[in-house]
Amino acid sequence: MSTLDLRGLTPAPVTPFTRDGAVDYDAIQRLGSWLGSVDGVKGLVVLGHAGEGTFLTQDEQVRVIAAFKESADGRLPIIAGITGEGTAVSVEEARRAVDAGASAGLVYPSHGWLRFGYQDGAPQDRYKAIHEGSGLPLILFQYPDATKATYNLDTQLEIAAQPGVFATKNGVRNMRRWDREIPVLRRENPDLQILSCHDEYLLHTIFDVDGLLVGYGGLAPEPLVELIAAGKAKDYPAARAIHDRLLPVTANVYHRGSHMEGTVALKEGLVARGILEHATVRSPLLPLAEGAGAEIAAALQSAELTSVVAHA
- Side chain identity at residue 109, one-letter code: P
Q: What's the residue count for the chain?
A: 312
The SS3 of residue 123 is: helix
Q: Is the pLDDT of residue 175 over 50?
A: yes
Q: How many CB atoms lie within 10 A of CB 190?
A: 7
Q: How far is CA 56 from CA 17, 29, 52, 65, in A?
A: 11, 18, 7, 12
The SS3 of residue 147 is: coil
CATH number, span 9-233:
3.20.20.70
The Cα–Cα gap between 32 and 263 comes to 17
Contact 127, 164 (CB under 8 A): yes
Which parts of 255-309 fold into alpha helices (H)?
A: 261-272, 292-302
Q: Is the pLDDT of residue 86 over 90?
A: yes
Q: Is the pLDDT of residue 312 over 80?
A: no
- Helices 87-100, 58-71: inter-axial angle, 10-degree rounding: 40
Is-above-0.85 flag for pTM? yes
Q: Where are the domains of the chain?
A: 9-233
pLDDT at residue 85 in the model: 94
pLDDT bucket at 310, cuts 50 / 70 / 90? low
pLDDT at residue 1 in the model: 45
pLDDT at residue 20 in the model: 97
Provide mean pLDDT across the span 140-168: 98
Question: Partners of 46 in the beta sheet?
Answer: 80
